[in-house]
Amino acid sequence: VRGANDRYQKAVELRVALVPQAAGTGRVAEICARFSGWLPDAEREICPAETRTSATLRGEIDPSLIESFAAVQDALERSIAAPLKAQLPRVQALESRAREARAESDIQTLVDRLATETRAYREAYGIGLAGTQSVALECAWRYVSGRYHAQANAPEDYRVFALIGIAALLDGDARRAAIAVAPSGKANAWTRAEREAGCGSLGLPREAVVGAAEIVARARASEINAAKSQAAQDLFANAYWIYALWAATGLALLQIGRQASSARRFLPLAAIVWAFVGWLTHVHVEWVSDRAVHTSRLLSWGIRWPDFFQVAAAAAAILLLAGFVVHGARKPLERQTPSSRLAYAGFVLFVGLGWWLALDLSANGHAANRFHALYQQIYVFAAFVLLTMLAPLRLKLADRLSRGLGHFLLLARARGTSVLRYAVPWLIYGGTAVLVLAAAAVTHQKQTQFTSELFRLWLILGASWFFFIRGESALSLPAGGIKGALSALAFVSPLFFVLGVPVLGLMLTDDFGPLFVIIYAASIFVGTAFAFAFFDRAGYRPWLAGSVGVLVAGGWVYVMTFALYSLPAPLARIAERLASVRTPFSSTNDQMAIITWFQESAPAQGYGFGGVPWCGELAGATCRGVPKQIQSDYVFTALAGVYGKAAALALVALLALWLVRVVIHHGRASRGTVTAESPALTQQAWLSWIAVCWVGLTLAQLAITVAGNLGWLPLTGITFPFASFGAWSLLANTFFLALAMSLPRRA
């Protein structure tokens, strides 16, 4: 992609290989853990929360501590100077040649070029044009260590505070360094020696310390940034064949998995193949997101490329051998056939399209998103693995799930006498709802996206289970009259329980986007359930039930939309989103205005990949163009930029048709009811309902995200199925696609 290399090359050039003595952070936490008891309550705020609780942490300040810090500072200086020192002999040789042979102007050009090459490095680490030491770091160290030594006879709290300043500088914690250094007054001035060393040009000491802490932070992050940038450059060069290899491998494994082979043999085989492909295509599993804490946790567990794939391949090989050695009495898996020839092709197309967008946005969009294509590489790879490994297991999974839910229904049925007869079902259903909400509350702390996918999973499984279990029994409901109406309402009531839990959960977690999807998608399920309960039986015309279903669903959507725009918004954020639809150019949220501008400015045929001015037409230090979350919430807008609005709408229609196409043949394979004919057919019936409900919900999601992008509905922060950046949405959709894309061959 055009421009990709410029963005990443700088990070590669700024790499600092820290020597072991300089590595690691956590010095502030260490000081606080040992000495924070000396600090007054107000000053203890500077410490990390987990180390400021106790006032008894009053260790004796060991003089060797400052020496160990001096060693760290020295190691940092050496690490930062090393790349320049490595070039020094070359520069000196060229300079002496230039002195000896004055006529050789080419040599001077070479010297100048070397200086230009190192300019960015010198600027980033505060190194002057002459020399290799970081003046900023040297001055900051002189100041903070000088302050500490000057307070040798001062009370402990002064010395601890000074030590925290030193530790913050060495950790690269600019915020704490700024607090720990004297904010004003005489203390915030350079000594004569420091001024003579050129420290005065760095501003006041406080500014210099903050700047130096930022330099240390930059140096500490540089290694991983350089590695990511290098990987991103490799990815841009090889993305085409990487994706082609994944797609071909996925197709081959899907075909093998659909044969009547043993899961015990197929799964290890697939794992070996994917481990080899992951190793070959450099899937850096350790960079699963832009949070350094995730990476460090994975690294501490030894999960990194290539080790992870080597271990996975070895483990899978052992399991495969065991699969050949152990001959169980189990039956092989049911032979399967694709539900549609386009199912896998559509998956490859839309997932690939999303990844290609991520690549373009990484190369040319917001700098903060420059590694998103790299992260998405892991998610896309995981989606291929999930799809191929789950597809052969789908009937078994349905069997286990349906048995579990069957047991649950038995447990929750009304039994006993008097009060218990009524109380037990309520308690069990209520308890289940509470458990689900509690699980959502826990996941919401760490992974908001996962919470919404959890509720989506609940809704799809719940609605499909409702239709699977209750659908056919609707035919036996009494028709007409009050008794019939009441029976029909009682028939529909479990669906409201299924819908109510995610609605409540998303309201509690203030997750407006998925709530919006569920409220709209509920219309489909409610409409269908009413059609079955009231009109889908003998005595009514065959088309009546369908028409009533569509009318009820349409009425539901109308009422919900009317309520959304007419009633006072319960939350300020919802009001803000609504205002941005009504008055996009004067509301508080500017995103609607920006994406409208972008869509309007895009040529009819689009800018094309690599040519989209994501950051606007004016070059600047900051990206003032499309919103940062374009790769997740505004994929339709991004597609309109790349291909033009008409083509983007055509892609949406194609996605909708593909989703319907994936499930349309399920009706031939199953009637969607429990049957005594074969267990596989019953399992398939349950799976077919899951597939149909997933498609219904996904169509609603697609409609809402497109409507939000076009300014017809509030922007809700929901994803574009299969194409949006992010792990959970892609993996959840892949999970359901894996269940939907195959059918038992016998069926």
Partner 1 sequence: MARPRSSLLERALGVFVAFALVLAGFLWAGRTLLPRSVEGVYLDSQRLGGLRTFERAIVPMDPARDDPAPKADWIRGQFAFCTDPLKDRKELSARTKRSNPCASTNAAEELACYITTINSRLADMSAEATANRDRGLTARHFVSVERWIEAIRDPQQPIACRTAVAAARQLAAGDGRLLSLLAWRDLTPKSVVASQFAPDQAVKVAGRILEQRNPWGGVPGCIYYGRPNGKMLFVTDRHETNRQACVAMRPAGANEKNVEGAKAPPESLDVILADLDNIRLPWRDLYRAYTEKPAAGSGPIRTASADAKRVAARTVRTGSRAQSTKSTPASTST
Q: Which of residues 547-606 bind partner 1 (CB under 8 A)?
A: 549-550, 553-554, 557-558, 561, 572, 583-588, 590, 593-594, 596-598, 600-601, 603
Nearer to partner 1, 405 or 699 (CB): 699
Binding mask 368-407 for partner 1 (x = CB under 8 A): ----------------------------------------
568 secondary structure, DSSP code: P
**Token pair 């090459």: residue:** 117
State in angstroms the smallest separation of the CB of 596 from partner 1.
Answer: 6
User: Where does this chain touch partner 1 (CB under 8 A) — which range of 213-221, 334-342, 485-493, 708-716?
Assistant: 708-716
Binding mask 712-731 for partner 1 (x = CB under 8 A): xx------------------
State in angstroms the smallest separation of the CB of 401 from partner 1.
Answer: 18
Q: Which amino acid is at 412?
A: A
Enumerate residues 6+ apart whose C-beta is below 8 A from 66.
Answer: 145, 148, 149, 163, 166
Q: Which of 316, 477, 642, 692 binds partner 1 (CB under 8 A)?
A: 692
Classify 102 as helix, strand or coil. Answer: coil
Binding mask 10-49 for partner 1 (x = CB under 8 A): ----------------------------------------
Note if the bond before 183 is cis, omega within 30 degrees. Answer: no
Nearer to partner 1, 597 or 609 (CB): 597
State in angstroms the smallest separation of the CB of 696 from partner 1.
Answer: 4
State in angstroms the smallest separation of the CB of 266 from partner 1.
Answer: 29
State in angstroms the smallest separation of the CB of 392 from partner 1.
Answer: 23
Residues facing residue 338 across a β-bridge:
742
State in angstroms the smallest separation of the CB of 523 from partner 1.
Answer: 7
State in angstroms the smallest separation of the CB of 723 from partner 1.
Answer: 18
Nearer to partner 1, 352 or 527 (CB): 527
Classify 378 as helix, strand or coil. Answer: helix
Buried b (16+ CB within 10 A) or exposed e, 152-164: eeeebbbbbbbbb
Classify 55 as helix, strand or coil. Answer: coil
Nearer to partner 1, 400 or 624 (CB): 624
Residue 126: left if φ>0, alpha if ψ -120 to 50, beta else—which one? left
Apex CA 631: angle with CA 630 and CA 637, to 5°?
55
Query: Of 333-352, which residues contact partner 1 (CB under 8 A)?
Result: none
For the chain, helix (H) and strand (E) counts, in that order, are 27, 2
Classify 134 as helix, strand or coil. Answer: strand
Distances (CA, A) of 76 to 26, 134, 164, 336, 456: 15, 10, 18, 61, 49
Q: Diameter of the chain by CA atoms?
A: 110
Nearer to partner 1, 257 or 584 (CB): 584
- What percent helix, strand, coil does the chain show, rounded to 5? 75, 0, 25
Query: Of 275-314, which residues contact partner 1 (CB under 8 A)?
Result: none
d(CA 430, CA 426): 6
Phi, psi of 335 (to 5 degrees): -70, 140
State in angstroms the smallest separation of the CB of 333 from partner 1.
Answer: 23
Query: Of 612-651, which residues contact partner 1 (CB under 8 A)?
Result: 613, 615-620, 624-625
State in angstroms the smallest separation of the CB of 132 from partner 1.
Answer: 30
Query: Of 451-490, which residues contact partner 1 (CB under 8 A)?
Result: 467, 471-472
Q: Which of 685, 739, 740, 743 binds partner 1 (CB under 8 A)?
A: 685
State in angstroms the smallest separation of the CB of 664 from partner 1.
Answer: 7
d(CA 699, CA 706): 11
Query: Of 515-554, which residues contact partner 1 (CB under 8 A)?
Result: 520, 523-524, 527-528, 531-532, 536, 542, 545-546, 549-550, 553-554
State in angstroms the smallest separation of the CB of 593 from partner 1.
Answer: 4
DSSP codes joined into one string, 674-721: --SS-HHHHHHHHHHHHHHHHHHHHHHHHHHHHHHHTTSS-----PPT
Q: Which of 5, 261, 432, 673 binds partner 1 (CB under 8 A)?
A: 673
Residues facing residue 127 across a β-bridge:
134
Nearer to partner 1, 618 or 676 (CB): 618
d(CA 626, CA 639): 13
d(CA 219, CA 579): 44
State in angstroms the smallest separation of the CB of 442 from partner 1.
Answer: 18
Site membership for partner 1, residue 678 (CB under 8 A): no
Binding mask 83-122 for partner 1 (x = CB under 8 A): ----------------------------------------
Residue 687: left if φ>0, alpha if ψ -120 to 50, beta else—which one? alpha
Q: Which of 505, 696, 717, 726 binds partner 1 (CB under 8 A)?
A: 696
Q: Which of 189, 227, 664, 674 binds partner 1 (CB under 8 A)?
A: 664
Enumerate residues 6+ apart whose C-beta is below 8 A from 165.
Answer: 144, 147, 148, 176, 177, 180, 181, 209
State in angstroms the smallest separation of the CB of 542 from partner 1.
Answer: 7
Binding mask 152-191 for partner 1 (x = CB under 8 A): ----------------------xx----------------
Q: Which of 610, 710, 745, 746 binds partner 1 (CB under 8 A)?
A: 710
Nearer to partner 1, 16 or 700 (CB): 700
Sign of CA dihedral 626, 288, 386, 685: negative
Q: Which of 458, 658, 689, 725 binds partner 1 (CB under 8 A)?
A: 689
Question: What count of Cα atoms within 13 Å lies in the side-chain half-sphere of residue 670?
Answer: 30
Structure token pair of residue 214: 């930022």
How many of the chain's residues bind partner 1 (CB under 8 A)? 73
User: Where does this chain touch partner 1 (CB under 8 A) — which range of 90-98, 190-198, 342-350, 704-712?
Assistant: 704-712
Distances (CA, A) of 520 to 168, 382, 558, 693, 699: 51, 30, 10, 13, 10
Supply the Cα-derived Rg of the chain in whole angstroms. 32
Structure token pair of residue 439: 């699980």
Q: Which of 644, 672, 726, 744 binds partner 1 (CB under 8 A)?
A: 672
User: Where does this chain touch partner 1 (CB under 8 A) — which range of 6-14, 213-221, 434-442, 660-668?
Assistant: 660-668
Enumerate residues 6+ apart whose C-beta is below 8 A from 531.
Answer: 545, 546, 548, 549, 552
State in angstroms the smallest separation of the CB of 50 from partner 1.
Answer: 13
Nearer to partner 1, 331 or 446 (CB): 446
Query: Of 245-274, which residues contact partner 1 (CB under 8 A)?
Result: none
Nearer to partner 1, 254 or 691 (CB): 691
Nearest of 522, 454, 446, 497 to residue 700 by alpha carbon? 522
State in angstroms the smallest separation of the CB of 666 from partner 1.
Answer: 6
State in angstroms the smallest separation of the CB of 477 from partner 1.
Answer: 14
Site membership for partner 1, residue 699 (CB under 8 A): yes
State in angstroms the smallest separation of the CB of 580 from partner 1.
Answer: 10
How many other CB atoms are found less than 10 A from the CB of residue 551? 13
Residue 651: left if φ>0, alpha if ψ -120 to 50, beta else—which one? alpha
State in angstroms the smallest separation of the CB of 310 from partner 1.
Answer: 36
Site membership for partner 1, residue 681 (CB under 8 A): no
Helix (H) or strand (E) holding 431: helix 418-446
Q: Which of 454, 666, 720, 744 binds partner 1 (CB under 8 A)?
A: 666
Structure token pair of residue 72: 């760290």
**Token pair 């501490």: residue:** 300
d(CA 553, CA 523): 4
